[in-house]
């Protein structure tokens, strides 16, 4: 089953009862704020697609709450490429026992502030978060993600990748919290921002907050430009500098993207990435 829906109301409740693919386009043409509640039933497999649209310059406010039932698998694809929208988002996701969330969040639009809170509320719940960001031309991207391990045997993974160019800025605030009593839980982060020019600002603030001993956790973080060695190697193979930057930047963002967003990312960024 595949459903497509344009949502132009300011408040909406959605209940998903069957396995399937659900496309939701949030229209901000007339309303600049939305509150959305999505409830997903137990024992189903769901693929969600989220997009935004507007035909005029606008600053919008978007709040969404997603409750995932027990033994349910959710793939959550977010594609934000509208350069007319300045987007302020708050997303709260609650996972029940043995439920799984995998996100692919592609942010290549105008100024964006997002705040994700994922609660692993019951044993066996798990989250795999993949965020890909591209910003240029003085655009600012701020993304806060917090995953709360609230019961034993919960698992989380974060892969956050950014590429910025031409006076853009990108800020990641990333928190993995393991509550006392959440035995045998695991939290891992991998975070990277690649800068294509000197006049960019990149900041990553990774945190592991652990109140229990019998758990595992790790994080790795890098910020910086493409190394001279890589550029030299590519230029020695006949690849000019502009193309080299495009290839490395797009390749960096493709590492953790879904098949559904793969072609969209390449198509959009080939037009925008330039090195001066």
Residue 35 tokens read as 């509150």
Q: For position 238, what pLDDT does the model report?
A: 75
pLDDT grade, residue 276 (50/70/90)? very low
Q: What is the DSSP string of 45-58?
A: EEEEEEEEE-SS-E
pLDDT grade, residue 274 (50/70/90)? low
Do residues 33 and 11 lie in contact, with contact meaning Cβ atoms separated by under 8 Å? no
Do residues 130 and 154 lie in contact, with contact meaning Cβ atoms separated by under 8 Å? no
Q: State which of 20-34, 49-63, 153-167 shows the largest mean pLDDT.
A: 153-167
Q: For position 180, what pLDDT does the model report?
A: 97
pLDDT grade, residue 270 (50/70/90)? confident
Tens of pLDDT, residue by residue over 77-88, are 999 998 888 999
- Percentages of the chain per state (helix, strand, coil), in multiples of 5: 15, 55, 30
Domain range annotation of the chain: 2-225
CA distance 70 to 40: 9
Do residues 150 and 120 lie in contact, with contact meaning Cβ atoms separated by under 8 Å? yes
Nearest Cα to 201, choosing from 233, 181, 224? 224
């Amino acid at each position: 089953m595949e459903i497509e829906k344009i949502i132009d109301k300011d408040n909406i409740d959605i209940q998903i009862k069957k396995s399937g693919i659900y496309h939701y386009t949030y229209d901000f043409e007339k309303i600049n704020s939305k509150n959305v509640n999505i409830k997903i039933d137990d024992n189903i497999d769901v693929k969600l697609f989220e997009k935004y649209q507007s035909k005029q310059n606008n600053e919008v406010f978007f709040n969404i709450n997603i409750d995932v039932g027990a033994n349910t698998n959710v793939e959550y694809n977010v594609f934000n490429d509208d350069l007319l929208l300045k987007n302020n988002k708050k997303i709260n996701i609650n996972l029940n026992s043995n439920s799984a969330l995998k996100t692919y969040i592609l942010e290549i639009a105008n100024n964006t502030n997002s705040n994700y809170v994922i609660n692993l509320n019951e044993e066996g719940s798990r989250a795999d978060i993949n965020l890909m960001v591209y910003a240029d031309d003085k655009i600012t991207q701020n993304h806060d993600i917090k995953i709360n391990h609230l019961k034993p045997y919960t698992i989380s993974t974060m892969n956050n990748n950014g590429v910025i160019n031409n006076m853009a800025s990108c800020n990641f605030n990333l928190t993995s919290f393991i509550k006392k009593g959440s035995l045998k839980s695991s939290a891992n982060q991998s975070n990277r921002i690649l800068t294509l020019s000197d006049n960019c600002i990149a900041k990553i603030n990774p945190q592991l907050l652990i109140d229990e001993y019998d758990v595992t956790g790790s994080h790795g973080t890098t910020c910086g430009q493409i190394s001279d060695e890589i550029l030299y190697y590519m230029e020695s193979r006949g690849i000019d500098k502009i193309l080299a930057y495009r290839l490395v930047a797009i390749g960096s963002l493709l590492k953790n993207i879904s098949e559904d967003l793969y072609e969209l990312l390449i198509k959009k960024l080939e037009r925008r990435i330039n090195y001066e």
